[in-house]
Structure 1
Amino acid sequence: MGFKDVQQYLAPHLELPLAGKTYLVPPPSKDDGLLLAAFIALGVNAQNGRKSTDEDLALIKKREGADLAEVAFTPAVYQQMVEDGVPGAHIDQAAIYAMYYWTMGEQSADYVFANLYTEAAEGTLPKGLRTLKTGRNTALANQTRTASTRGTASRREPQDRKRPSTKKAASRGDKH
């Protein structure tokens, strides 16, 4: 009996339109995927006042100084963006989207990205999130700046629950 073709179940390339060009971003390597997941976990833990696991911190420490965009896009795609003159802030923002895309799936990436940048534009970012000098909005602003990874594991589909934006919840008197 032969092996079953599982290609249809694997994560497709991310088609990322940016600055008038569509970049085809392959899924990250296993190590890069794990780093992306560790960064997500670090941010979630920091936002919720929890300590990150030793495993996540070790992954991040091992790759200290790695650029999130190079990890989320691959060095070749990142370099092409730079050569094409894509503004650094746009690369950084797209890298955050790609990090969530590879670790949590497209719907989660869309949700996080839309809410993060909508709330930033409205001035309603949750306490603890701030903008770094590079323009990145992150809960990791006071943490070591490195890349995050996961990516080669199967993507999880997000739950259908939607959290109201901070601004809307505050106007209704909801606590978050």
Structure 2
Amino acid sequence: MAFEALDELLDESLHLPIAGRVYRVPAPSAEVGLRTQAIVHAAAVAADGGRADEQILADAAERDLYADVLGSAHAEMVADGVPWPALKHSAITTMVWISQDKAAAERYWNSGGDPSRMAPNRQARRNPPSAAASSTRSRGSTSGTSTRPVAPAPARGSQKRQR
């Protein structure tokens, strides 16, 4: 079996619908992809209270990252007068695609960027898709602790010793 041509296996673009038009965002170059992943990682570290690589974040501020990740779609969006929130949402969606995958980018796009709309709702978490899965008993703890209540010991002196 031989390797198939990679460009035939991968869909190397995003198609983002905005105001009745679909913009095709091409796959980024390796340089843009690697830089985007580094920036997303550094931002996540900083958001979690860690110390992010300041050089990476400074480089992001110096360059037009949105134009880089959107590629040719950026110029088309600007020429068409796409509003800033839509362009920003498109760029961040593309960054999610670059740093994660197309499914994550689609979830982000469809949530409108609202994290609470991306998480499954409470009802979905409580009722899994399979009824069999919800009726399966979970394994007991192997931590060595017991959750079974222990009967209280009789009080001293309340019972007479039998001979």
TM-score range, shorter chain: 0.5 to 0.7
CA distance in 2, matches of 1:92, 1:80: 14
User: Do the aligned partners of 1:35 and 1:60 also contact (CA within 8 Å) in 2?
Assistant: no
Structure 1: stretches of 5+ with no match in the other structure: 121-161, 169-176
What is the percent sequence identity of the aligned residues?
26
- Contact 1:13 1:26 survives alignment (8 Å): yes
Match of 1:61 in 2: 58
User: What are the residue-to-residue correspondences of 1:1-176 with 2, within 5 Å?
Assistant: 4-52=4-52, 54=53, 57-74=54-71, 76-113=72-109, 114=111, 116-117=113-114, 119=116
**Kept after mapping to 1: 8 A contact 2:93/2:106:** yes
- Residues 37 and 118 from structure 1, CA distance in 2 versus in 1: closer, same or farther, beyond 3 angstroms? closer
Residues 52-71 of structure 1, C-alpha deviations (whole Å, 9 max, x = no match) = 3x4xx444434542223202
Runs of 4+ in 1 over 6 A off after TM superposition: none
Q: Secondary structure at the match of 1:28?
A: coil
1:32–1:71 contact (8 Å) kept in structure 2? yes
Deviations 1:129-165 (A, max 9, x none): xxxxxxxxxxxxxxxxxxxxxxxxxxxxxxxxx9557
In structure 2, the gaps of 5 or more residues are 123-163
Contact preservation (8 Å) 1:13, 1:24: yes
Q: Is the 8 A contact 1:23 1:77 kept in 2?
A: yes
Which one has the largest radius of gyration?
2
Tell me the TM-score normalized by structure 1.
Answer: 0.57
Instruction: Give the AA of the match of 1:46.
Output: A
